[in-house]
Structures are given as C-alpha cells and as structure tokens.
Amino acid sequence: MGNLTRVGIAGTGSYLPKRAVPNKYFEDFIETSDEWIRQRTGIEERRWAGDDEPNSFMCTEAAKRALDDAGLQPSDVDCIVLGTVSPDRMLPAVSPQVQANLGIEKTGAFDVVAACNGFVTALNTAYALVASGTAKRVLAIGAERLSSFVDLQDRGSCILFGDGAGAAVVTPFDECQQGEILRTQLGTDGSGRDFIYMDAGGSTRPPTHDTIEAREHFIRVQGREVYRFAVSTMTQIVADMLEGYDRDELGMLVPHQVNQRIIDAAVERLGIPEEKVFVNIQKYGNTSAASVPIALDEANRGGKLPSGKLVVMCAFGAGLSWGGTLLRW
C-alpha cells in the first residue's frame, strides 16, 4: 500500500423523530420526577420514533441531509458504515436497507456493533477505508431506536435513552477541504461487558416465553459503574486526542451525550471552558450511537465549529468500548 490519502468530512446530517417525550411522561408509571431526571442527567425530553420511523428510515434521512451538505449525490458513495445496536431486524444489517432506500446500485455496506461508540467506530473505519484508498466516499452513520428495548418498569434506565440518527460524508481531503481527520482511537475493555447488556435474544438465549416473562429482552444498565468508567474514559480520550497540541487550538469538543454530570466532571478535570463543549442532551437524552453525529451536525449547522480550529469527538459505552476522533475544521 502506498502513502495514505488525507481524509476530511465533507458534510453532516441528522434526523430526530417527531414525537418528543418529556420527563413528566414517566411520572405516571414509575417512581421518578421531572426534577430528579433533570438534576441527575440533564435530560428534559427525548425523541421516540413512531411506527413510520424505523432505524433505516432515520438513517436514510440523515444520510440524504449529509450528502446535500456535502454537495454530493447518493451515486457518489461507494461504502456505507453504520453503527447501531437497534437494527430494524436481527438479520440482515440496516446498511443494505439504507443503500436500497438511497437508490445506490453498487456499494459496500456493513453495520458495526459498538453501542454508544458506534458512530465513532464507523467514522474511524471510514477514515481508514478512504486513507488506504479502499473506498473513496464513505457514509459513516450512527443510528438508534432504543425506545424499542427500554424496560418501562426500570427507572434506572428507561429515562435515559432517545432515538435518532446522524451521518457524515467522509472523502479525500483534496475534494472537501474541510474537517481533516488528524487522529483516531478505538479501545475496548471486555472485563466490563456486563455493565450494559441485554440478556436474551442472542444465540445463547434465543427468545422463549420464559425469556419474555423474565423481561430479558430489555437493556440493563449498571448506572453507577458506567458513571465512573465514563468520567475517567472521556477524560483520557480527550487528553489523548489533544496530546502535543496547544489546548487553545481546541474549537469544540463534541462528546457522547451520556449525562450532563458526566460531561461536566470530565470537562472540569480537563480544564476545558464550558463554551467549547457542545451539549444537546437536554433535548434528546442519550441516543447511543446517534448522539455524537447528531451533536456534530447541530454544531456544524449552528456555526459552532470554528474554521481552522480543532474538533474532538469522543464516545464510550457498552463493551466496554470507546473511541475518539481529532479533526481540524
């Protein structure tokens, strides 16, 4: 393989479901309150997808918007890499449906399963494909419809998650002259695999009446353990991404929207000013793989990514899995 191609982000897009679910919604059936949820998580409402908004639909809309932003056509795309843990169906992957929806005839398309780190994993994979010359224009997508898997009897987890999708078009930097990817990181610690999990539905515990009765098809979260992991991991990823750079060069940090308190604690340790941290968790909750690309798209469209400055994305979640991307916007 020859020299690596420089790689940039040519455009971003996102899609949020129409239905907003305020914190008060949960007060009717679990012991919780709007005040508790706001104070402990920063979430005010989240979006939950309707029957007409499957995961693949949200991905397609986000992808169309990202392609528009990049000034490209679906036919320009030669690979789709899609991070999700809530596919339309267990089989096949979501990305072939997105390819069909976009009307692209021939392209590589595959899903990656990295939970809340799904988009950063997809983006870093897209980077590697373009940098190596394996693909030229890649759609990196992060999407989730976790409302289908939350247990409305479990107050420690059902209030956290929202649905949505976000996308970025990754191309050679020469073509887009924007968002050059300078550094990537992916990490895993499988010893924490039982911090966030779904017990049944996989091949070791396929669905039975018993698994359904035992409510084993819902997401379970060890909130406190994840909290500690998230603060230290976010701090470490951002420090790694910025190593060797002057901190003043940072234009915007776009973190996984996990919990306002987790973000605040990590940012305080890092000494990054509040105005350089993009947060939209109050509107959307934790949208898992969709959280970073939705935030990136809102920051981009809102003019919050200063040209020529560094942008850091970081994500972490079930696995345990984490990732970071450093860009110069």
Ligand X SMILES: CC(C)(COP(=O)(O)OP(=O)(O)OC[C@H]1O[C@@H](n2cnc3c(N)ncnc32)[C@H](O)[C@@H]1OP(=O)(O)O)[C@@H](O)C(=O)NCCC(=O)NCCS
Residues at the interface with ligand X (CB under 6 A): 32, 36-37, 40-41, 116, 155-156, 159-160, 196, 221, 223-224, 226-227, 258-259, 286, 317
Whether the CB-CB separation of 192 and 117 falls below 8 Å is answered with: no
Cβ distance to ligand X smaller for residue 38 or 309: 38
Minimum gap (Å) between residue 293 Cβ and ligand X: 15
Minimum gap (Å) between residue 147 Cβ and ligand X: 14
Residue closest to 133 by CA, chosen among 179, 171, 84: 171
Minimum gap (Å) between residue 305 Cβ and ligand X: 24
How many Å is the maximal CA-CA distance in the chain?
Answer: 61
Whether the CB-CB separation of 294 and 284 falls below 8 Å is answered with: yes
Given 79, 158, 256, 280, which residue is catalytic? Answer: 256
Q: Which phi-psi region, left, alpha or beta, contains residue 275 (left: φ > 0; alpha: ψ -120 to 50)?
A: alpha
Minimum gap (Å) between residue 1 Cβ and ligand X: 35
Cβ distance to ligand X smaller for residue 7 or 226: 226
Residue closest to 282 by CA, chosen among 78, 60, 102, 43: 43
Q: How many CB atoms lie within 10 A of CB 235?
A: 17
Given 59, 79, 116, 314, which residue is catalytic? Answer: 116
Residue closest to 196 by CA, chosen among 223, 163, 169: 223
Minimum gap (Å) between residue 281 Cβ and ligand X: 10
The sheet that has 310-317: what strands, in order across it? 180-188, 321-328, 310-317, 250-255
Cβ distance to ligand X smaller for residue 152 or 182: 152
Q: Which amino acid is at 136?
A: K
209 tagged catalytic: no
116 tagged catalytic: yes
Whether the CB-CB separation of 219 and 160 falls below 8 Å is answered with: no
Minimum gap (Å) between residue 319 Cβ and ligand X: 10
Q: How many CB atoms lie within 10 A of CB 254?
A: 28
Calculated CA dihedral for residues 267, 273, 274, 275, nearest 10 degrees:
-140
Q: Residue 84 and residue 98: Cα distance in Å, rounded? A: 13
Cβ distance to ligand X smaller for residue 146 or 250: 146
Given 117, 124, 286, 300, which residue is catalytic? Answer: 286
Cβ distance to ligand X smaller for residue 167 or 258: 258
249 HSE (CA, 13 A, CB side):
14
Token pair, residue 21, equals 């679910």
Cβ distance to ligand X smaller for residue 49 or 315: 315
Catalytic positions, please?
A: 116, 256, 286
